[in-house]
């Protein structure tokens, strides 16, 4: 079974405007949409769209949390969310006009009892399962929560995927995660440098392997992606042509696509192509990509 964890899910309230946002004035929208997710839920959605059953774990609160849980159920994704006693799950406002403006909420406080309940859920994971950890963590959780999760699972044969940045990612490498996915800018930031060439990106990805990562997937937006495998191979792929409509969830889609592609026949080259197709298909859509859109792009890579 594949599991995802979303510590701080959200409803993205997207407001589209035909003109510039004017502070201090009454502004009127052209249209509005709501998208339900969070990085782990996004991964779960793409996995389900590609035909892979999975279980979404995490925390929800209040009426917004109930709406998020209902949307996950509507998509056919199995979920085992922990309901928090206070607060509401986040509503993030995305204003798309002449320029894009975002207001991201903090989310509810996660008490120790809820944290303990999540760790109890992790006891159900078995050898051969996959766990995907994606995104930042809310301030009410300890900064080493990723480390604690990997430490708890270290005696089981579980492939862990981590999509995080800076110390949150660095500190889990000693537990040898199956896959990590920084983008090229995040990879440079981890070493206080700017990476300009493929050779520089490859060299620094291998440094993360020396620190414990098994496979390192580096996304590079319009320049495609690179994969450095635990078997010493380097794979490189460009991106298909298309009009970028949306950047939200593209990285999560790449993670899900990679996992789905790898599980088909354990081929790293195919996994990279499927990940790239999934990330691109979401970027070319208003919402997370459908399985049909992903496989169509995959056939063109």
In-domain check, residue 175: no
How confident is the model over 229-281, as pLDDT tens digits?
999 999 999 988 888 887 778 999 999 999 999 999 899 999 999 999 999 99
In-domain check, residue 224: no
In-domain check, residue 21: yes
pLDDT at residue 182 in the model: 94
113, HSE (Cβ side, Cα atoms, 13 Å): 4
Which residues are 91's β-sheet partners? 11
pLDDT at residue 211 in the model: 96
pLDDT at residue 98 in the model: 85
pTM (2 decimals)? 0.93
209 vs 65: CA distance, rounded Å: 38
In-domain check, residue 84: yes
Active site residue ranges: 252
pLDDT at residue 239 in the model: 86
Considering its fold, how many domains does the chain have in total?
1
In-domain check, residue 17: yes
271 vs 256: CA distance, rounded Å: 10
In-domain check, residue 136: no
In-domain check, residue 213: no
Neighbours of 84 (CB within 10 A): 21
pLDDT at residue 167 in the model: 87
In-domain check, residue 85: yes
> Which structural domain range is residue 96 located in?
1-38+59-125
Helices (H), 154-267: 166-170, 184-190, 198-210, 250-265
Per residue of the chain (301 residues), what is the pLDDT tens digit? Answer: 999 999 999 999 999 998 889 999 999 999 999 999 899 999 999 999 999 999 999 999 999 999 999 999 999 999 999 999 999 999 999 998 888 899 999 999 999 999 999 999 999 999 999 999 998 888 899 989 999 999 999 999 999 999 988 888 999 999 999 999 999 999 999 999 999 999 999 999 999 999 999 999 999 988 899 999 999 999 999 988 888 887 778 999 999 999 999 999 899 999 999 999 999 999 999 889 999 999 999 998 8
Q: Is 218 left (phi over 0), alpha (psi -120 to 50) or beta?
A: beta
């Amino acid at each position: 079974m594949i599991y995802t964890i979303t510590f701080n899910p959200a409803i993205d309230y997207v407001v589209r405007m035909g003109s510039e946002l004017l502070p201090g004035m009454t502004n009127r929208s052209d249209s509005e949409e709501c998208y339900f997710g969070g990085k782990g839920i996004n991964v779960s959605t793409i996995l389900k769209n590609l035909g892979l059953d999975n279980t979404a774990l995490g925390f929800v609160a209040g009426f917004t949390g109930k709406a998020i849980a209902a949307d996950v159920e509507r998509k056919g994704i199995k979920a085992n969310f922990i309901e928090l006693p206070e607060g509401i799950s986040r509503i993030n406002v995305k204003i798309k006009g002449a320029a894009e403006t975002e207001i991201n909420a903090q989310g509810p406080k996660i008490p120790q009892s809820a944290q303990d309940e999540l760790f109890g859920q992790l006891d159900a994971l078995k050898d051969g399962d996959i766990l995907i950890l994606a995104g930042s963590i809310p301030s009410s959780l300890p900064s080493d929560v990723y480390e604690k999760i990997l430490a708890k699972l270290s005696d089981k044969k579980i492939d862990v995927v981590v999509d995080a940045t800076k110390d949150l990612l660095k500190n889990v490498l000693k537990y040898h995660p199956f896959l990590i996915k920084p983008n090229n800018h995040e990879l440079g930031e981890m070493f206080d440098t700017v990476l300009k060439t493929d050779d520089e990106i490859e060299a620094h990805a291998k440094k993360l392997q020396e620190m414990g990562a098994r496979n390192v997937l580096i996304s590079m937006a319009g320049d495609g992606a690179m994969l450095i495998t635990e078997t010493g191979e380097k794979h490189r792929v460009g991106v298909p042509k298309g009009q970028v409509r949306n950047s939200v969830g593209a990285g999560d889609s790449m993670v899900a696509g990679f996992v789905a592609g790898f599980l088909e026949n354990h081929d790293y080259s195919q996994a990279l192509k499927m990940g790239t197709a999934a990330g691109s298909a979401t970027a070319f859509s208003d919402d997370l990509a459908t399985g049909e859109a992903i496989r169509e792009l995959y056939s063109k890579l």
